Amino acid sequence: MSDAPAGDARTRYPIADSIPRETLDAEVARLEALASRPLPARLWGYVKLGGPGFMGAALTLGAGSLTASMLSGARFGYKTMWMIWLSVGMGTFMLAVMVRFTCRGGFRVIREQNRRHGRIVGSFLTGIIGCLAVAVIFNAGQVSLGTHLIESLGGLAGVSFPTLVTAVAYAAITIWILLSYGRGGSRGTRFVETFMKVCIGLMLVAFGVSLALVGVDWGAALRGTFVPWLPPGGEGVDLFIASSAAAVGVMDWVFLHYAGLARGWGPKHEALGRMDIGVGLFLPFVVVNLLVIALFAGTFFGSGLAAPETAPELSRALAPLLGARGAEALFFLGFLAVPISTTVGMSLAGAMALHEALGWEPDVRSTRWKIAILLPQAGLIGAWAANPVWIVIVIAAFLSLSGNVVGWSMYLLFNDAAVLGEHRSRSYAWNLGIVLGITLMNAIAIVYVMNRLGWWFG
Amino acid sequence: MIDMDRKLGRWRLRVWGLVINLVANAIALFGIVAVVEGGSPALLIIGATLTVVCVAALAIPPRSDS
């Protein structure tokens, strides 16, 4: 931080080093000018300047969360929509903590965890299990969905692509985007952020148009969005815990922190960071999921049509119901943005976390960075086969059992005067939101153990 | 207001709160299973009450002089 101006607590992060000081200062000046503008102009300015939040939304909106929404819509109609905004809303408290760490902490969070809570919590549970293992293992599901969608798009054009071609196409797109990150000053990073924003826009347009074609029962949709409902008995508890777990987790926290550091965020970016969580992450996540639930509620729920169980099958079953061929193509294209942007986000998060866990300095031009960022491409196996089940079970076990411990660690850092000084938590409401989120993660870990022991609902 | 950053034995009160909250959550979840299967609500009441107390205490921010 030798070239940082006095009073600038900006944390040195090598990916941000290539951003010229004038660029960062100009961004701060624009932020200061925005603060006095009317709300609409300010919001639009924040959308343009934001990025890490949008990347977080694109990362979270993956095959897993959208499959859950599709199945939920097909099985329960509009009734479970309220869980979407509630679960991601609870996650925003911890995300705001990550923005505080980025802008005011003066540290890199995994390294600080190592110092304060030990390497098992920092490097292993947060970096290796919470980020890298998730990126490598769960990318197979993204690849499987992505390659099927490319195949479906080809089918609409009357072309039949072999699996090898779809897998190569998927890898080529994601690798090209990934290798751009951090290059050319801030240009590479902004390019990837813009790509993620475009992906989110594509999802919104594609699912929005599809929903307009299918039609919405507005009364049921409004009730489902604001009136809590759960299926009776154990199924309801299971559904609530699973939906909450799918919303925001360790990888989202860590990625938001490091993506902010990679943008050179300092103290004056905290307001931008918070807006980025709201406008870039919360809103797109909620709207896209609500659109998908409504889409499947309007087509499958109560129709007597059998809804398949996997994302590729569900999308193929829905497309013909949209009527027009162009609408089918738009739906597949919007859906393709889901796995591609998630692969990009997960790969970046995995590479950043691996470097931090092992104490390496990230250099986007180094072979080590390129290998780290391409590790999740091992998921290309997903184009031919389902996930290797035993690995998924082991990682899911670690994840379920460790997410809450990582949450404890973040909460303790946030409440530690020795770590954050005057910027530590001072708000009862903020802490309450974090602790409620942690309590939910505790429940996920406990239910996982109870399931393994056969003590959870039969 | 309780000083959650006071040391009690090995750890700060805040850390003990997190551990007790985990135990309380487990009791509450066992209680839910019991209630759904037609059993007594006692465990659920104990677990839920303890959870509320822990959450309320853990939400207390560090004191300004800490």
Q: Are residues B26 and A425, on separate chains, in Cβ contact within 8 Å?
A: no
> To probe the interface with B, which of A116, A439, A457 has the most B CB atoms within 10 Å?
A439
| H/E stretch holding B7 | strand B7-8
Please spell the DSSP secondary structure of A220-285, one letter per residue.
HHHHHHHS----STHHHHHHHHHHHHHHS-HHHHHHHHHHHHHTT--GGGHHHHHHIIIIIIIHHH
Chain A residues with CB-CB distance to B59 below 8 A: 428-429, 431-432, 435
Kindly report the nearest CA distance between residue A241 and chain B, in angstroms. 11
What distance lies between CA A222 and its chain's CA centroid? 26
What would the pLDDT profile of A92-122 be if each residue is shown by its tens digit? Answer: 999 999 999 999 998 999 999 999 999 999 9
Cα–Cα dist A382/A379, whole Å = 5
CB A411 within 8 A of CB B18: yes
Kindly report the nearest CA distance between residue B37 and chain A, in angstroms. 8
Determine the length of chain B. Answer: 66
Report yes or no: B26 at the A interface, CB cutoff 8 Å.
yes
Instruction: Note the pLDDT of residue A393.
Output: 61
Residue B18 domain boundaries:
10-37
What would the pLDDT profile of A38-67 be if each residue is shown by its tens digit? Answer: 888 888 888 888 889 999 999 988 888 888
CB B25 within 8 A of CB B47: yes
What would the pLDDT profile of A12-28 be if each residue is shown by its tens digit? Answer: 788 888 888 888 888 88
Question: What are the residue ranges spanned by the domains of chain A?
Answer: 15-452
Cα–Cα dist A333/A315, whole Å = 11
Banded model confidence at residue A306, pLDDT cuts 50, 70, 90: confident
Q: Are residues A457 and B59, on separate chains, in Cβ contact within 8 Å?
A: no
Q: Are residues B58 and A431, on separate chains, in Cβ contact within 8 Å?
A: yes
**Paired strand residues for A10:** none
Banded model confidence at residue B47, pLDDT cuts 50, 70, 90: very high
Chain A residues with CB-CB distance to B15 below 8 A: 408, 412
Complex confidence, ipTM: 0.95
Instruction: Note the pLDDT of residue A353.
Output: 96
Q: Give me the mean pLDDT over the A185-213 stretch.
A: 90
Instruction: Note the pLDDT of residue A4.
Output: 41
- Closest residue, chain A, to B48 (C-alpha): A439
In a domain, B15, yes or no: yes
Instruction: Note the pLDDT of residue A20.
Output: 83
Chain A residues with CB-CB distance to B14 below 8 A: 412, 415
Report yes or no: B33 at the A interface, CB cutoff 8 Å.
yes
Whether residue B22 is predicted with pLDDT greater than 70 in this model: the reply is yes
Q: How many CB pairs under 8 A join A and B?
A: 70
Chain B residues with CB-CB distance to A456 below 8 A: 33
For A59-85, letters b (16+ CB in 10 Å) and e give bbbbbbbbbbbbbbbbbbbbbbbbbbb
Whether residue B43 is predicted with pLDDT greater than 60 in this model: the reply is yes
Instruction: Note the pLDDT of residue A433.
Output: 95
- Closest residue, chain B, to A456 (C-alpha): B33
Q: Give me the mean pLDDT over the A305-316 stretch.
A: 72
In a domain, B54, yes or no: no
Q: Give me the mean pLDDT over the A361-382 stretch.
A: 89
In a domain, B42, yes or no: no
Chain B residues with CB-CB distance to A240 below 8 A: none
What would the pLDDT profile of A131-157 be if each residue is shown by its tens digit? Answer: 999 898 888 888 888 898 898 888 888
What would the pLDDT profile of A325-365 be if each residue is shown by its tens digit? Answer: 778 888 889 999 999 999 999 999 999 999 999 999 999 99
- Residue A298 CB coordination number (10 Å): 23
Whether residue A385 is predicted with pLDDT greater than 70 in this model: the reply is no
What would the pLDDT profile of A205-262 be if each residue is shown by its tens digit? Answer: 999 988 888 889 999 999 999 998 988 777 777 777 777 766 778 999 999 999 999 9
Q: Which of these, A105, A450, A115, A70, lies nearest to A296 by C-alpha position?
A: A70
Instruction: Note the pLDDT of residue A387.
Output: 52
In a domain, B23, yes or no: yes
Q: Give me the mean pLDDT over the A299-316 stretch.
A: 75
Residues of A with CB under 8 A from a CB of B: 233-234, 237, 404, 408, 411-412, 415-417, 424-429, 431-432, 435-436, 438-439, 442-443, 446-447, 450, 455-457
Kindly report the nearest CA distance between residue A403 and chain B, in angstroms. 13
Whether residue A81 is predicted with pLDDT greater than 50 in this model: the reply is yes
CB A250 within 8 A of CB A109: no
Q: How many domains does chain B have?
A: 1
Instruction: Note the pLDDT of residue B6.
Output: 93
Q: Give me the mean pLDDT over the B33-55 stretch.
A: 93
Identity of the residue in B26, B33, B55 whose CB atom sits nearest the CB atom of A436? B55
In a domain, B24, yes or no: yes
In a domain, B65, yes or no: no
% chain A with pLDDT above 90? 46
Q: Considering the domain A15-452 in this protein, what is its CATH number? A: 1.10.4160.10
Chain A residues with CB-CB distance to B5 below 8 A: 415, 417
Instruction: Note the pLDDT of residue A252.
Output: 93
- Closest residue, chain A, to B12 (C-alpha): A412
- Residue A364 CB coordination number (10 Å): 21
In a domain, B45, yes or no: no
Instruction: Note the pLDDT of residue A12.
Output: 76
Position with higher pLDDT, B31 vs A35: B31
Of A149-158, A163-172, A306-315, A425-434, the poorest mean pLDDT is in A306-315
Instruction: Note the pLDDT of residue A7.
Output: 37
Position with higher pLDDT, B13 vs A161: B13
What would the pLDDT profile of A442-457 be if each residue is shown by its tens digit? Answer: 988 888 888 777 777 6
Kindly report the nearest CA distance between residue B36 and chain A, in angstroms. 6
Sequence letter at residue B19: V
Kindly report the nearest CA distance between residue A63 and chain B, in angstroms. 29
Q: Are residues A442 and B55, on separate chains, in Cβ contact within 8 Å?
A: no
Residue with tokens 């705001």: A96
Which residues lie closer than 8 Å to A217 by C-beta, 6 or more apart?
A: A78, A297, A298
Q: What is the mean pLDDT of chain A?
A: 86
